[in-house]
Structure 1
């Protein structure tokens, strides 16, 4: 039996019956699903059509760049360097979560995450731990210059300026200069 649909143009007088076959009903459903999927894919693929089926233009939110304050609001873990492997892995996972939540760019990820590395005045221990971490997380330092910059940024304040002034090009130059300066203090 074919489903029937009744509509009334005026409540008291006229009744119109419209028959819809199962094939027509299925075609209408398919058309709606296709339109919905196309709209979803357009927004995922960055299509510039932001008009809904009703003709009303939707507003698109523009993602703003992550600031250091945004990053810190996500409560990243601090890493002292004395913890073991499990804590290091937890730190990495937490950093990845914070990067995702705060919409942090790759350039800022490196800069901001190094601020969570806590360093004392034991430069020898810092050198060793930094090298271990750099080997475990190679993606953090794509170039030698990045590695040197991040190493120097984690040095104690009392020698950091002097190491920066020496403009080390390699990790070896940076670690030698830092060790020499710490021995003189």
Structure 2
């Protein structure tokens, strides 16, 4: 017989049987802001820890300008020559917004192909400016 006052049965996950239930959801704006601040701080701390670990730690001296002492490339990123080997298009500032958006999309695709890091992307993209775009950038 089916009882309508009875709560539905929940399947017990064998892997999660030992875990505590999640904390209750925040009820006020202050509780929500505190929870967001806590979670964001934890995420940033985890990101920084991973970034430091991936780069060899803060004591990893940049002896040769590449981040390692062997004289070779870093495991991640690329050189400007490797980036130019992908034949990126120069941007001259002509053509308006449509030309700029197309150039941006093609340049982003080139960054993905060459596996450039984010800090390299800014430097390398500015190396593609010519004529009016270069004049604007140098202001």
TM bin, normalised by shorter chain, reads 0.3 to 0.5
- Greater relative contact order: 1 or 2 (C-alpha under 8 angstroms, separation 6 or more)? 2
Normalising by structure 2, report the TM-score.
Answer: 0.42
More helix by share: 1
Normalising by structure 1, report the TM-score.
Answer: 0.32
More strand by share: 1
